[in-house]
A and B are shown apart, each in its own frame.
Chain A
Amino acid sequence: KAGVTQTPRYLIKTRGQQVTLSCSPISGHRSVSWYQQTPGQGLQFLFEYFSETQRNKGNFPGRFSGRQFSNSRSEMNVSTLELGDSALYLCASSLVGGTGIEQYFGPGTRLTVT
């Protein structure tokens, strides 16, 4: 069974632009969570989607948003990029979601904002 896939793997954007990242969960998994990883702040939860609904949200500004499609694929969008948004963005999928069930991570998208 294929793992979690994320596209693109690397991205360079300019401050003020917006970006969309994509995540395809493991087949059969209905929950998708997004995390930001930086050297300074570590791994931080952004939001979780289950059955196309956002079920939980971390402490990030409204510039960070996401959505989930009927096939469980998810996208996250960051508008008005700031230099501090440079990070590895990780997507994780789980079978049920929101119940402490195991989450499996993708390889991440490395975003660099210049």
Chain B
Amino acid sequence: QQQVKQSPQSLIVQKGGIPIINCAYENTAFDYFPWYQQFPGKGPALLIAIRPDVSEKKEGRFTISFNKSAKQFSLHIMDSQPGDSATYFCAASTTGTASKLTFGTGTRLQVTL
């Protein structure tokens, strides 16, 4: 059962564009939503995370928008750069003593010059 659905699978934008990656979840018990960035040959790196008590969070050029009623959240990358070309994963987990990250399927982003 896929509990976190991520789209699109791949995305190409020009430098300076604003790629948007969307995720939807099913489990209403999820209350922690991180985004990870992964470069080839590397482990995922934590970018930014949000909890459902806020609708938006910004860190540098990365913004998470969260819609609790729709059970959806998205990542926006402002002023995208070629160095942002990577695979991005959304994830979700529950707060408690037995949490685990459930990941989306990933979005391969390419930022062209």
Contacts and interface: CB of A to CB of B under 8 A. Distances in A.
Nearest to A42: B105
Query: Which of B43, B49, B106 has the most CB atoms of chain A within a 10 A radius of its CB?
Result: B43
Interface in A23-80: 33, 35, 42-45, 48, 55-56, 58
B100 interface: yes
A104 B46 contact: yes
B89 A100 contact: no
Contact of A56 (B32, B49, B98): B98
Interface residues of B, number: 28
Contact of A98 (B89, B98, B106): B98
Q: Tell me the dominant secondary structure on chain A's binding face.
A: strand
A35 B103 CA distance: 10
Interface in B14-65: 31-32, 34, 36, 41-46, 49, 51
A45 B32 CA distance: 16
Given A90-B43, A107-B42, A102 B49 contact: yes
Contacts of A44: 103
Interface of A: 4, 33, 35, 42-45, 48, 55-56, 58, 90, 92, 98-100, 102-108
